[in-house]
Amino acid sequence: MNIALAQLNYHIGNFEYNTKKIIDHIQLAKDKGADLVVFAELAICGYPSRDFLEFDEFIELCEEAANEIAQHCHGIACIVGLPIKNNTIAGKDLYNAAHFIEEGKITSTVKKALLPNYDVFDEYRYFEPGSEFRCIEYKGRKIALTICEDLWNINDNPLYISNPMDQLILQKPDFMINIAASPFSYAHDDERMVVLADNARKYNLPLLYVNQVGAQTEIIFDGGSVAFDRKGSLLDEMKYFEEELKIYEIKGSEISGYSPMAHEPLSDIEQIYHALILGIKDYFHKSGFSKAVLGLSGGIDSAIVCALACRALGPENVMAVLMPSKYSSDHSINDALLLVENFGCQHEIIPIKEAADSFDSMMSSAFKDLPPNLAEENIQARCRGIVVMAMSNKFGYILLNTSNKSECAVGYGTLYGDMCGAIGVIGDIYKTQVYELAKFINKDAEMIPLNSIVKPPSAELRPDQKDSDSLPEYDVLDKVLFQYIELKKSSRAIIAQGYDETLVRRIIKMVNNAEFKRYQTPPILRVSPKAFGMGRRMPIVGKYLS
């Protein structure tokens, strides 16, 4: 049997687009000699559809699309994911399901049993768990079909009390297929490989796994669909961050034509780079926009965002706005201009001194001659926010936010100033990772000026200002933040590792006190195992660890 895995980029709620793409790839797979073509979890509607799933019409459009797809399944079968109605009154109204379609008809339906409800996942909000498990029979073979999380209950700390495969294996299937919408993080591909290999080994069956690719707002899917033999050895690995269709021949209970291979992932930084490019590109394409604007300061954060935007959208579609204050150094302006020259993007220079001075004059009576402090600094940052938002309104640009994860974590940013934007490009990357990303971008040529990388970071909102005036050094700060955010360690546990107690308590307090700011920031492209946004939900007024 020849089985095609179709690793595709879907668009949430764009039924015409998704349906056409699926039908086109059914025909492509048929032309290449496939007997069966497999699409990803919730391919018809896109993942995650969130509260679109609560609209009856949305589900009806999924059903209509499935029926249209079925008309093109003659001489070839397909597996495609979609939400379906739960006709039993008790329980949730929907199932996360997969149809098996052959000869123009839906002949089997599999319902996802294990519904993740952690980090970015919220499936039990919408779906009822499947409770019946039957293999699919096709061309004399038995297929054990599961949906994403259904294979993930195999580690030392199981989240669920049952495994669908424990039921399916009793029916003596010939091989397993798993369809998924497995989000990217720089650590997730290694974990995914272990889980899938363990399943193949445990059930002594070959496994074909198809993942979707593409970005859906902040969540990025990396593809990387794979084939394993019955011993749990990796046989093949499809492309990452790209669409691909590939055919695998199953003879008996073996995948033919492949030998065991090693999983050799890209470095974390290279994975992050490709993920962010895809995240930017899809955010614009799927939102119907093409041009970006950002504030370019001459520092490393905005330089990285500008570089990524130029490579994702083309430099002709990127507007970099230099907004020097009265405290900006000449080298910052020159560094920004050199970056613009290196990448060839558009730019404007709009000084903010006049606007900031006007605000200072306007507020002088209300401020009652008190000495300048954070208020005046933030006025400057908000002047910059007004400028880039004005450019966005006037020319239809989408504003890119340039705050990094370290800044987002401790609240080192100005609401309605440098924290504004439509999408946070590097808000899930710590400052120390930003430096690594700059080195990666410069691996072939110095595109990001060296001075932007080596100079001490500064907001340049007061004379001789440095980030280190307000924050611990980033190499220490980021380590503590990682322990607290990604590893969810308490202050006591972090201090026990040898970190200074006063420093740890100060950092954690800053993180918790900044929660109200993060509620008002743009969605952030997720590249880590624990990103700010939908995957990390904290109370604003909570006392714990503050």
Residues contributing to the annotated binding site for ATP: 295-302, 402
Is 376 known to be catalytic? no
> What does DSSP assign to residue 483?
H
User: How many whole angstroms separate alpha carbon 352 and alpha carbon 386?
Assistant: 10
Identify whether the C-beta of residue 250 lies closer than 8 Å to the C-beta of residue 258. Answer: no
Task: Name 2's Cβ contacts closer than 8 Å, sequence gap at least 6.
Answer: 33, 34, 35, 36, 247, 248, 249, 250
- Expressed in angstroms, the distance from the first to the final Cα of the chain is 59
Residues forming a β-bridge with 533: 536
Residue numbers belonging to the annotated binding site: 118, 182, 295-302, 378, 402, 407, 517
Task: Return the structure tokens found at 508.
Answer: 């954690």
> What does DSSP assign to residue 466?
-
Question: Among residues 73, 135, 148, 345, which one is catalytic?
Answer: 148
Question: Among residues 41, 149, 218, 377, which one is catalytic?
Answer: 41
Is 135 known to be catalytic? no
Task: Name 251's Cβ contacts closer than 8 Å, sequence gap at least 6.
Answer: none
Residue numbers belonging to the annotated binding site for L-glutamine: 118, 182
Task: Name 481's Cβ contacts closer than 8 Å, sequence gap at least 6.
Answer: 405, 406, 409, 410, 430, 507, 511
Residues forming a β-bridge with 220: 215
Work out the number of other CB atoms within 10 angstroms of the CB of residue 46: 23
Question: Among residues 112, 246, 286, 405, which one is catalytic?
Answer: 112
Work out the number of other CB atoms within 10 angstroms of the CB of residue 364: 11
Residue numbers belonging to the annotated binding site for deamido-NAD(+): 378, 407, 517
Residues forming a β-bridge with 251: 254
Catalytic residue numbers read 41, 112, 148
